Structures are given as C-alpha cells and as structure tokens.
Structure 1
Amino acid sequence: MSANALQQAVYERLSENTAVAAITGPGRVFDRRITRAEPPYLVLGEIVSSDYSTGDGPGAEHRFDIEAWTRRNGRREAVELADAVRSALHDADLAVNGATLVNLRHERTVSHRAPKSALHVARLRFRAVTEP
C-alpha cells in the first residue's frame, strides 16, 4: 500500500505551506511528538490503511491524523493552526510517489487541553483514497 508515500506527500505539503509556517515557523512538522520541542508544531499521527479495491482495480483507503500542538494563546491558536492544515490538505492534489491520489478529504477536528500540561492540541482526521 502507499501509506508511506502518502505520508511523505502530506509532510512535504505542510512543510512548504506558508500559512502553516506563519503560525509554527519553519521546520515544525514532525512524524512523532518531540517532548522537548517548544510549541507550536505539527505531528503526523496514526495512519490506518485498508484495502479499497473495486471491480475496476486495486485501491487503498487511508485514514490519518495530524495533531496541532500549541501553548500560547491556547485553544485559539490550536484551532487556527488546524484551519491552516485543513486548508492545505482538504481536496489537495498531492503527488504521491508510486500511486495516484483519488481524493483527500478532511473528516473532523477535535481540540482539547492535553492532560497534565499547559498545551492544547487539535487533532485532525483525514481520509485519502489511492490507486496504484
């Protein structure tokens, strides 16, 4: 399946997006949470891939999360960063190495204060379909 290639394309889009960088600064997209990194930043979270083949050919469905972590300005900044991510990815035409991106849709965003910390997080869920 093309999950790694999809994640790379998402990483590149977010890393190059000026609206995201205006909030986070450059180089603030990670594939895991860096506990010593100062927010705001983005974390590419869980990705679940499933067979989505049809009578016309093979395909894959990918559901993945992106987390927007912030400290100052709390939930408001987390939601602003989440909005920038949504704008960068929803219905985007990404170049996925070795696959064709059929569609990429934002499904939901949930924001909350992280337990036992002064951090806020907005978790975005996306759904993508790819074909070889």
Structure 2
Amino acid sequence: MSDASLELQAAVVAALKSSPDVAAIVSSRIFDQVPSNATFPYISLGPDQVLSDGAECVDGLEISLQIDVWSRAVGFPETKRIAGAVRAALHLVDLDLPTAALLSLEHRQTRTLRDRDGITSHAVIEFTALVELP
C-alpha cells in the first residue's frame, strides 16, 4: 500500500516545478533535503502531519504540510513574491494522486520572518489537504 502523504508530496513538488511563476524565481531549486551548496533563493519541504479523518463509510486523512521559502535578497520582497507564487500554484488546485483521492488542498497561513543569521529571509507556508483512501 502506498503512503498518501508521500503521494501528496510528489504531486506538490510537481505542481511547483510546473508553475511558471515559481520557476521564474527559483528555477528548479525545490528540495526535500537541501544540499549544502544550494543557491538562493530556493524552496524546501518542511514537516508534515497526518491525522486520521475517517467516517463510518470513508477512510480519510487530513494532511498538514509546510513549505519553506529561503532568500538572501535584501528585505522581504523576494521571499514574499515566492510565497505568493507557491500559494497561487497550490491553493485549491486539483492534483492527481496515484492511489488516493485529493478532496481539497487549501492554504492555511504564511509567516514571513528573518533567520537568525540576519541575512536570510524565510517564509513558512502551511497547507491542509483532505485525502480519501481507497
């Protein structure tokens, strides 16, 4: 049996890589594990959480996922442009999953902050997905 959160992760990465607005800023720099020599700006996958959300006749999951944006450009503008492109690429988008059915994918919140190093800007973008299992 496949893992719905892994299927969702693959579909989200594919959607981000195929978004012209995302690609225009980060190219294909979308990472699960960020390489030590990564060029800024880039997007990384953050933590996720999977909760059972079944009903009497339906087996489902609620998946919370985090996407992180990293930039070293001055100030927040680049970080916010990338975060906006990520939201536009994923909010309410219909993604095909191999074995599960994505019922919804919704943007929950975006937080923009400065990293401790004083140079890097960071956006934390959170989404919630409802998935029905076979």
TM-score by length of 1: 0.94
Distance 1:101 1:131 in 2: 6
Matched ranges for 1:95-114 at <5 A: 95-114=96-115
User: What residue number does 2:10 align with?
Assistant: 8
Shift of 1:56: 3.0
User: What residue number does 1:63 align with?
Assistant: 64
How many residues are aligned here? 131
User: What residue number does 1:20 align with?
Assistant: 22
Q: Which moved more, 1:113-122 or 1:60-69?
A: 113-122
Matched ranges for 1:33-112 at <5 A: 33-112=34-113
Q: Partner of 1:81: helix, strand, or coil?
A: helix
Distance 2:83 2:117 in 1: 22
Distance 2:65 2:42 in 1: 17
User: What residue number does 1:115 align with?
Assistant: 116
Q: Contact (CA 8 Å) 1:3, 1:49: kept in 2 or not? A: yes
Distance 2:75 2:54 in 1: 42
Shift of 1:117: 4.2
Shift of 1:50: 0.7
Q: Partner of 1:73: helix, strand, or coil?
A: coil
Q: Contact (CA 8 Å) 1:32, 1:45: kept in 2 or not? A: no
What do you get for the CA RMSD once the two structures are aligned? 1.1
